[in-house]
Amino acid sequence: MTAAEFREWRQRNSLTQTGAGEKFGVARGTIQNWENEVNAIPPAVEMSCQILEDRFRQRRPDLGPVTLVYTDNPMFIDPYGPRRPLAMMKQEPYPTNTAAFARVRALWGRDDFHNPFIMEESGEFLWNSAQLARVFSGDDPDAAPLWRKVTIAKATREELVARLKANELIEACGKAYRAKGLPKDVLILLDKRITDDHVFYFSPAAFTLTGKVREIVDSIAFCDEPDLSDMKKIEL
Are residue 8 and residue 70 in the same domain, yes or no?
no
Residue 138: predicted pLDDT:
86
Are residue 135 and residue 155 in the same domain, yes or no?
no
Are residue 175 and residue 227 in the same domain, yes or no?
yes
Domain of residue 27, residue span = 3-59
The tens digit of pLDDT for each residue in 29-70 reads 999 999 999 999 999 999 999 999 998 889 888 899 999 999
The tens digit of pLDDT for each residue in 114-133 reads 999 999 999 999 999 999 99
Return the percentage of the chain with pLDDT > 70, whole number.
100
Are residue 117 and residue 168 in the same domain, yes or no?
no
For the cut 90, the answer to whether the pLDDT of residue 164 exceeds it is yes
Q: Domain total for the chain?
A: 3
50: exposed, middle or buried (C-beta count within 10 Å: 0-12, 13-18, 19+)?
Answer: exposed
Please state, in angstroms and as integers, the Cα–Cα distance from residue 97 to each residue in 106, 150, 201, 215, following that order: 14, 22, 19, 27
Are residue 123 and residue 48 in the same domain, yes or no?
no
CATH number of the domain at 23, please.
Answer: 1.10.260
Question: Using CA atoms, how far apart are residues 100 and 123, in angstroms rounded to an integer?
Answer: 15
- pTM, rounded to two decimals: 0.78
Are residue 152 and residue 229 in the same domain, yes or no?
yes
Are residue 82 and residue 138 in the same domain, yes or no?
yes
Residue where a domain stops, chosen among 143, 166, 194: 143
Are residue 53 and residue 102 in the same domain, yes or no?
no
Residue 202: predicted pLDDT:
96
The tens digit of pLDDT for each residue in 126-162 reads 999 999 999 999 888 888 899 999 999 988 888 899 9
3-state class (DSSP) for residue 21: helix
For the cut 90, the answer to whether the pLDDT of residue 182 exceeds it is no
Residue where a domain stops, chosen among 114, 143, 172: 143
For the cut 90, the answer to whether the pLDDT of residue 105 exceeds it is yes
Q: Give the phi and the psi of residue 180 in degrees, each rounded to 5.
A: -95, 10
Are residue 139 and residue 154 in the same domain, yes or no?
no
Are residue 229 and residue 178 in the same domain, yes or no?
yes
